Structure 1
Amino acid sequence: MATVLVLAAIVVSGWRFGFPGRSSVEHPQPAGARFLAMAEAKPTVPAAAPRTGAATGTRRFECGRNVEGIRNSDNLITQPGVAGGAHHLHDYVGNMSTNAFSTEQTLALAPTTCEDGDRSTYYWPVLRLQSEHGHQDPAAVVTPSSVLVHYRGNPATKVFAMPQFLRMMVGNPRAYTQPSMTTASVNWTCSGSRDRTTVLYPRCPAGQQVVRIFDFPSCWKGDSKDSANHRSHMEYPMVTGACPASTVPVPQLHLEVGYALPADVDYYLDTLPSEQGSSSTDHADFINVMPDALMADVVRCLNDGLHC
C-alpha cells in the first residue's frame, strides 16, 4: 500500500511540475492564450485635452527591470498573511521586501530598486515562454527588457498627494471566467506601434518589444487607504478627465513593462489555473511607500507642468 501511495505522489508531482525531457505536445499553449497581429489592433483612444491650469507635468522613476529576480506568488494587498495566496508568480520592482507578511513598518525600512528613495512596491504577473518542462519551469520566466514607472497629472485640475500606504489594483485577474469587471485600463501594444492597442497577446513586428500597459485609477475617495474589494476607495476620471464628485485627484500611475521576444514565439501570462493563460487577466498592483517629501516633489512636478 505504501508503494502505491509513493507512486501516486510521484505521478501527481510530475503532472504539476513537468518531467524533464517531456515533449511540448504534452504542455500545449493554454486554452485562453490568443494572439493578434499588431496591424489588426484597434487605434489607441486619444487622451482628453488638458484645460487651462491643469496638472500637465510628469514624474518618472528609474526602478530597474527586476534583474534581481525578486518574485513570489504572494499578494500583500488581496491575501495578506497567506503565503502563495496569489496562485501565480509576480515580478517586483521597487520595494525589495514585499511578501504576504510585510507590514507598513517593514516596507518603510526596506531597500528599493527605485531611485530617489521611492520604496513603493510595483508588481504584476510574470510572462512565460512555452516550455517542454511544464508551467512551473523557472527557466521559462521572461525577465522584462524595460520597465517604465511614470506618474501623470490630471487634464482637468491640479492633483493632491497620495497618502503613504495607499493601495491600488488595475485589471481583472479573473477576466477569462468572470469578464464582467472592466479591463479597459490594461492593454498590450508593440514598442513601434503605439498608435494601436489590444487586449490580446500582440504579434509584434521583428525588432519591436511586446509592451504591457497599466493605467491605475487616480481619483481617491479620501477616507481610506484600501477597501474590502481593494477597488472601491479609488475611481477613474470621467471622459473629460475630471474626477467624479467627492473624490480627490491624485497622481496617476502609468506602468509599462516591455519584453524583447522573437516575433513568432509563443508566450503567456502566469495566471490563476482557471484563467487558462488569458491575456485579458493581466493586472498590476501598487502600494505607495514614498516618503511624504518625495510625494510632495511628484505633486509639484505635475502641477507645475514639469517633466521630472
Structure 2
Amino acid sequence: MGRTNRKRRSTLANRAIAASAALALGGGGLLAANIYASAGEENSQQNAQTTAAGVATIKCPDVGQSLTDVPDGARQGVDQELAKLDQQVSEAYKRLADTRQAQAGDSSYVDNAILGPLKAKRTATIDRMAINIRNAGGQPPQGAEQMAQCEGVPADQINNGGDQGDGQGQDQGDGQDQGQDQGDGQDQGQDQGDGQDQGQQGGPVAADFQDITQVQPNGGPQGVGGNGLAANGDSGSTGSFTTSCGTNGNDNHNSDNIIVAPGVDNGAQHTHDYVGNQDNNAFTSDEQFLQADTSCENQGDKSSYYWPVLRLQNGEDEFDANDLGGGAEGNIGPIQEATEAELKFVGNKASDVVAMPQALRIITGDAKAFSNGLANANTNWSCTGFEDRQLTDKYPICPEGSSVVRTSNFQSCWDGQNIDSANHRDHVAFVQADGSCPNGFQAIPQLQARLVYDVPAPQIENGQVVNPFAVDGFPTELHKPITDHNDFINFFDEETMNQVVECINSGQDCQ
C-alpha cells in the first residue's frame, strides 16, 4: 500500500526569514556567505589545494546514466542503491555547510573529511550494485568503481551561473553577455552573502536571471542541443490531443520519484507537483495507478504528470520547511501553483504515430544537469508574450503583465519494446532535426507540457537578486534553471489512447 502523498498547507501565514530557514540545512546561510566571501582567493593545483572555503558544491559522476545492461530482476535493487548514492552526496554537501570554520583553518579538510569518506561510501554502494547485476545474470558497466571519486567545485567556477562551459545561453542573442548585465560578472555569486534573506541556500544568484526583453527571438522552445525539438509540423501526422488535468489545486505533493527511485521515500530530494493520477508515490504499483482517481477531465486518462515545484524566496515558510525534500535540503519558500498547465500530445513531421504502451515512463530534462553537463538537459524558460524568445540556462525576468512560462517537449520516439530502461532514457529518444525517429525507433505522440506562473518579477540590485524564484532540486545543483525537468507515466486506457492516435494521424485537434 502506498503511503499518503503530503499536502501543502491551506495557508502560508507562517513566516520566517530565509536565513533561519537555511539553518535547517545545517548552517546553510553561513555556507553561502563564506563561499562567496572567499571566491576571489587564489586557487592552486586541483581540488586538494583548492582553498576549503572556496568549495561551493560537490560534483560526482552520475552512475545511473552509465547503466545499460541491468536485468529486470536487479533493477529495483539497483535503483535503490542509486538513491543511496544521491543521499550520500547530499549528506556530504550538508557537511560543507556545517564545517566552514574547520575548512578555513585546514586547506585539506574538504578532501580528507568530506570527499574521502564520500568516496568510501560510494565505492561500497557501487560494489553492491555490481553484485546485484551479476547475480541477476547481467554485466556491470566497465570502470564503475572509478565513478566513486567526487570533486569539490570552487565558487569561482559557478559565479556566471554554470560550469558546463559551452555557453548554453549563446543562442539567445548576444550570448557572451548573458548574465553579466546584472552586475559585474565576477561578483555574481555574492548576493548569497549579505543578501541571503532573499534566497534559498545555494542559489539562485543574480547570474541565474535574464531580462526576457533583452533576449533576441530564437524560434520558440527547442530545449538544449536539440533535446526538446517540437516533433509536429505541417506534414506527417498533424493533429493534436489536449488533456485537461488541472494545476494541482488539491496540493498533491511529495518528494518521491517512482521512475528513478521506486520504493525509496524522498528519492527525488525535492518536491513535485502532481496532476492526473492521484496515487503517485515511491510505492505505487501499476495496478494501483490503474485503480486510482485522476484529476483529468477525461477519465480515460489516469496518466501521471509531475514536475519540480516552483517556489518564491520571500522568507515565508511552506508545509515542508523542516522536512526532507523541502527546507532540510535547501528547498525553501512558498510553492507556487501554476495558473495554467497545458498538456498536449502532438504528431510527427515525418510519419504517423503509434499508440504508447501502457505504463510507459519518460523523463525529460536532467535534475543534475549542472553537475552532469548538458547531454540530457531539456529546458525552456520564457514569458507570456515573448515565447519566441527562450532561455535554457537562465530564469526569465518578465515585464509587468507577463507571466513566467516553463515548456517541456518530451521524447517522442520509442524502441517498440520497453516501457522503461536501466538508465530510464534509452528506451525513448528525441526526434532528429528533420522530425524523423532514429533507426529502430517509431514515432509516438509527443507530450508538450507548458506551465504558466504569475510570480513577481525578480530584481537585480547592486549585483544581488531580490525576490527570486527557483525550481526545487538536489542540494548540490544550486537551484540552477538548467536542472528543470518533467516526468510522465502513461496510464491512458486503451480506448482513449486509440482516440489520441486517431486524432493526431487524421489531422484533428481533439480534447
TM-score by length of 1: 0.88
Structure 1 unaligned regions, length at least 5: 1-11
Three-state SS of the structure 2 residue aligned to 1:254 is strand
Give the superposition deviation at 1:24.
7.1
Counterpart position of 2:472: 270
Structure 2 unaligned regions, length at least 5: 1-19, 28-193, 221-229, 459-466
Aligned length, in residue pairs: 292
- CA–CA separation in structure 1 for the residues paired with 2:239 and 2:298: 18
Matched, 1:234 2:428: yes
Q: Which structure features the higher share of strand residues?
A: 1
Three-state SS of the structure 2 residue aligned to 1:176 is helix
1:23-172 paired onto structure 2 within 5 Å: 25-26=196-197, 28-29=199-200, 30-33=202-205, 34-45=208-219, 50=233, 52=235, 54-117=236-299, 118-132=301-315, 133=317, 136=327, 140-172=334-366
Give the superposition deviation at 1:242.
0.8
Matched, 1:297 2:305: no
Give the superposition deviation at 1:27.
6.2
- CA–CA separation in structure 2 for the residues paired with 1:49 and 1:163: 20
Q: 1:139 to 1:278 in 2, by over 3 A?
A: closer
Larger radius of gyration: 2
Q: 1:207 to 1:223 in 2, by over 3 A?
A: same
Is contact 1:51–1:157 with CA below 8 Å preserved after alignment? no
Q: Which amino acid aligns with 1:242?
A: S
- CA–CA separation in structure 1 for the residues paired with 2:283 and 2:390: 36
Runs (4 or more) in structure 1 with deviation over 2 Å come to: 23-33, 40-52, 131-139
Is contact 2:231–2:347 with CA below 8 Å preserved after alignment? no
- CA–CA separation in structure 2 for the residues paired with 1:124 and 1:86: 11
- CA–CA separation in structure 2 for the residues paired with 1:48 and 1:17: 42
Which digits, 9 at most, give the CA deviation of each residue in 1:74-128, with x for residues without a partner? 0000000001110000001000010000011000010000121210000000011
Give the superposition deviation at 1:155.
0.8
- CA–CA separation in structure 1 for the residues paired with 2:22 and 2:474: 19
Q: Which amino acid aligns with 2:480?
A: S
Q: Which structure features the higher share of helix residues?
A: 2
Which digits, 9 at most, give the CA deviation of each residue in 1:130-162, with x for residues without a partner? 142576287611111110010010011100000
Give the superposition deviation at 1:41.
2.7
Q: Which amino acid aligns with 1:197?
A: Q
Three-state SS of the structure 2 residue aligned to 1:115 is coil
Which digits, 9 at most, give the CA deviation of each residue in 1:248-289, with x for residues without a partner? 100000001110012234101111000011110000110000
- CA–CA separation in structure 2 for the residues paired with 1:247 and 1:285: 20
- CA–CA separation in structure 1 for the residues paired with 2:308 and 2:470: 10
- CA–CA separation in structure 2 for the residues paired with 1:98 and 1:17: 27
- CA–CA separation in structure 1 for the residues paired with 2:386 and 2:198: 31
- CA–CA separation in structure 2 for the residues paired with 1:51 and 1:139: 43
- CA–CA separation in structure 1 for the residues paired with 2:242 and 2:217: 26
Give the superposition deviation at 1:191.
1.2
1:179-198 paired onto structure 2 within 5 Å: 179-183=373-377, 185-198=378-391
Three-state SS of the structure 2 residue aligned to 1:232 is coil
Is contact 2:232–2:346 with CA below 8 Å preserved after alignment? no
Q: Which amino acid aligns with 1:126?
A: V
Give the superposition deviation at 1:182.
3.4
Q: 1:301 to 1:99 in 2, by over 3 A?
A: same
- CA–CA separation in structure 2 for the residues paired with 1:31 and 1:267: 10
Q: Which fold has the larger relative contact order, with Cα–Cα distance below 8 Å and residues 6 or more apart in sequence?
A: 1
- CA–CA separation in structure 2 for the residues paired with 1:303 and 1:248: 14
Which digits, 9 at most, give the CA deviation of each residue in 1:154-197, with x for residues without a partner? 011100000000000000101112214232x3201111111110
Q: 1:50 to 1:70 in 2, by over 3 A?
A: closer
- CA–CA separation in structure 1 for the residues paired with 2:469 and 2:21: 24
- CA–CA separation in structure 2 for the residues paired with 1:45 and 1:291: 35
- CA–CA separation in structure 2 for the residues paired with 1:48 and 1:122: 19
